[in-house]
Amino acid sequence: MLDVQSITKSYTKNPILHNLSFSVMPGEIIGLVGENGAGKSTLLRILATIDKPDNGSISLNNLSYESNRKKVRKTIGYVPQDIAVWEELTVKENMHFFERLSSEAKNDDQLKELCLEMNLEKWNESVKNLSGGMKRKLNIAITLIHNPKLLLLDEPTVGIDLKSKKEIGSYLWKQAKEQKRIIMYTSHDMDEINELCDKVICIGKDSFYEEILSTSGKEIISI
């Protein structure tokens, strides 16, 4: 379980997150929505152990972020909004490069399977020749090499074709429900949020997203 209690974060005295609390169970997909600048990406970076909150506490599977930071970090996968892969390398070379940096060893067949599960079949293709959707699939596959318990994604389907978006969505759903991963991601696509998420966290003072989702029947947490 991911447990977040009373998180506060400010930059140069500008409050971003204030007294934020929620919990997520294994197998749940949580959507983060809110206007630009509301703090969605900041929250993901804190949960990914990249940034630290000013106050509050976080634990993942009963491990405190504060006292077990390195151990917790090994169980987290984080996909930033900007695609972070080596353009000049092939899909195969990227997967093997990041596998060598991973805490969990995988062979060629296992790495290839991570890609094939998302219909990323261009194993020997240079990344620079891939579509935006294929690059985002590769980004996610790389993040899953070390088998994380918590998967954090910042707009993983922004700017890609509908087919790739659906394939990524289906893959994330299977990862949550079959592998019991906790998945949290940001998106401005309300159809995607409605289709995939078990709960939705609305961040910020603007009630726009909360009003849109009010008839969805999903649990909505406003913070």
Would residue 216 count as lying in a domain?
yes
| pLDDT value at residue 110 | 97
Number of domains in the chain: 1
Tell me which residue of 98, 104, 22, 96 sits closest to 56, measured CA to CA: 22
Adjacency order of strands within the sheet including 63-64: 14-24, 2-11, 55-60, 63-64
pLDDT confidence of residue 29: 97
What's the pTM value of the predicted model, to 2 decimals?
Answer: 0.92
DSSP per-residue string spanning 155-192:
STTTT--HHHHHHHHHHHHHHHHHH--EEEEE-S-HHH
Task: Specify if 81 maps to a domain.
Answer: yes
Token pair, residue 8, equals 């506060």
CATH of the domain at 22: 3.40.50.300
Q: How many of the other CB atoms lie within 10 Å of CB of 93?
A: 15
Q: Which long-range contacts (CB under 8 A, 24 or more apart) does 85-89 make?
A: 85/127, 85/135, 85/138, 85/139, 85/142, 86/127, 87/126, 87/127, 87/128, 88/126, 88/127, 88/128, 89/126, 89/127
Tell whether 98 is covered by a domain.
Answer: no
Q: What is the pLDDT of residue 218?
A: 78
What pLDDT score was predicted for residue 16? 87
Structure confidence at residue 121 (pLDDT): 93
Ranges of residues in the chain with a pLDDT under 50 are: none
Give me the long-range contacts of 164-167 (CB less than 8 A, separation at least 24).
164/131, 164/132, 164/133, 164/134, 164/136, 164/137, 165/133, 165/189, 165/192, 167/118, 167/119, 167/133, 167/137
Distance from C-alpha of 150 to C-alpha of 129, rounded to nearest angstrom: 30
66 in a structural domain? yes
Short-list 173, 174, 214, CA closest to 196 = 173
Q: How confident is the model over 63-87, as pLDDT tens digits?
A: 999 999 999 999 999 999 888 899 9
CA 213 – CA 217 distance, rounded (Å): 8
Task: Judge whether 24 lies within some domain.
Answer: yes
Question: Do residues 133 and 164 touch, judged by C-beta distance below 8 A?
Answer: yes
Q: Which domain holds residue 165?
A: 2-88+148-222
In this predicted structure, what is the pLDDT of residue 156? 92
Could you tell me if 197 and 216 are in contact, meaning their C-beta atoms sit under 8 angstroms apart?
no
Tens of pLDDT, residue by residue over 53-66, are: 999 999 999 999 99
* Per-residue model confidence (pLDDT) at position 50: 95
Helix (H) or strand (E) holding 100: helix 91-101
